[in-house]
Amino acid sequence: MKAAIILPVLLLFCFISGCQTHSTKPEENKAVGSLEDTPSLKSLASFNIGMAVQARQFDTHPESDKYLTILNQSFNQVTAEYEMKMHPIVANSLSNGQLVFNWDAPDRIANYARENNLKIHGHALVWHNEYATPDFLENWSGSDEEFTQLVLQWVAEMVTRYKDVVASWDVANEAFRDGCTRADDCYRDSVFYKHMGPDYIATVFQAAHDSDPEALLFYNDYGLTYDNIKRKAAMNMVDDLVGRGISIDGVGLQMHIDINFPSKSQIKKAMDDIAKRDLLVHVSELDVRANPETRQNFTFTKSHANKQKQRVYDVVKTFRNLPKANQFAITVWGFRDADSWLNSFWQSPQYGLLFDNQFNPKPAYDGFVESLK
């Protein structure tokens, strides 16, 4: 993510000729230059390279051309950051017991993907968060059966509508609590758990599979790299689905990390736990906070840039060390630093993405490139 220096002649030759490096560290503070001189991530990778997008970035944003230049050059898969979740599409729309849909934003994303040969990773069918669950479901006063039928209607409508362009889905997102003391008592007390019971995940996975048997289906969560009990709870759920013959193809590790934490060994352990089950690994929401202390007057220095570059390099390299059969995709959670959810969530500047606010690739982008060689 962020301007340019001239690469030494030898490195340039090495990149063009495809020679390999066996270093375990990226080159310090080598920026990849202007966007026009930037190697394409998708051309270097043997797996999908994803980007979180918003519909306005395709058309109404005043700098749409810059977003699309980056997207089309380096990425071959997109994930809607929030516009394919339930709340933005159905909001508080309920008519005669049926959901009422507003397809405007997701259709714009889907149409652009169709026209530009991009895959879509759908995100997310069931999530407890207020940005994903409509108020009328969050405050549901009807029967549990009626609640379940509305959720199943949502899953069927969503998956069926986009089955020609959405190749994979996060079916359930963040179903487990933080800081559990026991893996067998870790489900989040969400509205879905309350009205559909602990088997709601199996129910929605089966519904998604029934609606599109060809789609790859994922469970997605944060904290699985460092919260061992939470990861065990998630893996127990996955094992249960597999044991019952319910289709699940992979697990998404959100990978909202910072320049210090979690450790490379923790990241590897989480990836290995998924891969050893013969499931796909998706680094699904990658960003790297440069300001974990949440300082208000924070300056993004050369030292921060190099640490961030190393972290990106380590994540991608660890992913690449998995068996190829277990490598699904790496998705970056936004274009420019200013676009990132991190700044508002942490109420401080975080500089967490691959491009700076002028759309220049940062050293972190170079770390991604080097990890793919």
Mean pLDDT to the nearest integer, 106-113: 98
User: What three-state secondary structure class fits 175?
Assistant: coil
Residues 164 and 52: their CA atoms lie apart, in Å, by 19
Provide CB contacts within 8 A for 17, sequence distance 6+.
Answer: none
Q: How far is CA 154 from CA 204, 217, 280, in A?
A: 10, 16, 25
pLDDT digits (tens, 9 = 90+) for 128-137: 998 899 999 9
Domain ranges, ordered by start, for the chain? 9-371
Residues 365 and 31: their CA atoms lie apart, in Å, by 8
Looking at residue 156, its pLDDT comes to 98
User: What three-state secondary structure class fits 316?
Assistant: helix
pLDDT digits (tens, 9 = 90+) for 217-273: 999 999 999 999 999 999 999 999 999 999 999 999 999 999 999 999 999 999 999
Query: Which pair of tokens denotes residue 21?
Result: 């490096």
pLDDT digits (tens, 9 = 90+) for 4-23: 333 333 333 333 333 333 34
Q: Please identify which of the residues 174, 214, 293, 370 carries the catalytic annotation.
A: 174
Mean pLDDT to the nearest integer, 177-191: 96
Residue with token string 């290995």: 272
Query: Which pair of tokens denotes residue 253?
Result: 């590790």
Q: Please identify which of the residues 115, 130, 138, 285 carries the catalytic annotation.
A: 285
Looking at residue 309, its pLDDT comes to 98
Q: How far is CA 92 from CA 19, 101, 136, in A?
A: 56, 10, 6
Q: Is 174 a catalytic residue?
A: yes
pLDDT digits (tens, 9 = 90+) for 275-304: 999 999 999 999 999 999 999 999 999 999
Looking at residue 94, its pLDDT comes to 74
Any idea which of 5-9, 175-179, 248-252, 341-345 has the lowest mean pLDDT? 5-9
| pTM score | 0.90
| pLDDT band per the 50, 70, 90 thresholds, residue 28 | very low
Query: Which pair of tokens denotes residue 88?
Result: 């933005």
Domain at 9-371, CATH class: alpha beta
